[in-house]
Amino acid sequence: MTNEKKKMIIGYTCAVAATMFWGIHAVIIRWLLNGGVHPFLVGDLRLFIGSTFLAVVVSFTTLIKEKKLFPKVHYSKFFWLISISLAVNFVIFHIGLKYTIASDAILLEAFSPIAVLVIVMIFMPDKIKHLMKVADLPYKILLTLVIGSIGSALLLINDPKDLLITSHSKLIGDAIEFVAMFTWALVLLGMHEYQQREGSKYNILAATSQFLFFAGVMLAPFVPWTEMTAISSQQWIWITVLSVGSTGISYVLWHLASRYLDIFPLMTLFSLASIFTIITESAFLGLQITWKLAIGAGLILYAAIQAKKINSKYKTVNESTLGEGTGSQKQ
């Protein structure tokens, strides 16, 4: 086996494993919430346990390679944009999962690359002035928005026949998750800008552990910590799996995958997270996969991939791209 094939196998294995962790996390959260665990408590435990796990991994590798305990992290304005947006996102995302299905939450989050395009076009037009010179770009952006919006609309009108929610509460939950999607778009945008400016000088995994930690600190005053005593041993097991796996190991795996794979296969694999969510929720929480869910999921994932291609295809050497940000999927 050639060295190139070994790298591809490592890259694809790490990427698929990371998307599996990301794919099951919303289902586990939903199960915990329906078991009576407070959403803020789940969210903050994830942030603190996940950031601790990443800090240990980074410290261990840095000690071996560089003979120092922890690499330096630059606390720039984009660092704080990520941390604040992440804290707000965790609050909204976890609340939304009390009212809607995990598949809707993850699929609506997959819409975030399109939201990045919209945010940049409105608030940072100078970042894409070189893109607007491309003749067919406005048409492609509009088509991507339309396709993604149709997919989202199908999710909203879909009735999953879920035993834990009603159609009315699902609409409320979907609306909450739609807002959460925009906060995640801010995280992606901040991560992209941070990596563009700091990526070559600082350890991104170290920075990620810090993003998670400070987001946890911001959320901590609102968490009912006294309710920790009511968490069962089984729930603690799943909180640990959720925190270490989806908020820790997955970032390490995706970081490794990005070393061996180009952006386009990574973008495609990234979309597997939503598929894993649908399969897991169907298997363990009885989700009915209707034609509206299937077509809506397909349209959103297609639009998300197209949005990332727009961000990547038209980039230039001297100007930043938009939210390629596949490296920071949550949650």
Task: Return the structure tokens found at 79.
Answer: 């660092």
pLDDT of residue 314: 43
Rg (CA), the chain: 19
Residues 266-276 have a mean pLDDT of 80
Question: What share of the chain has pLDDT > 70, as a percent?
Answer: 86
Which ranges of the chain would DSSP assign to H, the alpha helix? Answer: 3-34, 39-66, 77-96, 102-109, 112-123, 137-157, 167-198, 204-219, 233-240, 250-260, 263-270, 272-284, 291-313
The angle subtended at Cα 232 by Cα 227 and Cα 235, nearest 5°, is 100
Could you give the C-alpha distances from 147 to 61, 142, 225, 291, 309, in angstroms and in order? 43, 9, 43, 16, 15
Asked whether 271 and 151 are in contact (CB, 8 A), the reply is: no
pLDDT in tens, 17-42: 999 999 899 999 999 999 999 999 99
Distance CA 130, CA 122 (A): 15
Distance CA 232, CA 254 (A): 31
Distance CA 181, CA 111 (A): 7
pLDDT of residue 86: 95
Higher pLDDT, 318 or 97: 97
pLDDT of residue 72: 83
pLDDT of residue 132: 60
Tell me which residue range forms the domain holding 100.
Answer: 3-328
pLDDT of residue 327: 43
pLDDT in tens, 152-211: 888 878 877 776 677 778 889 999 999 999 999 899 888 878 887 776 677 888 899 999
Higher pLDDT, 314 or 146: 146
pLDDT of residue 131: 60
**Structural domains in the chain (count):** 1
Distance CA 174, CA 274 (A): 15
Higher pLDDT, 96 or 273: 96
Is the per-residue pLDDT at 239 higher than 50?
A: yes
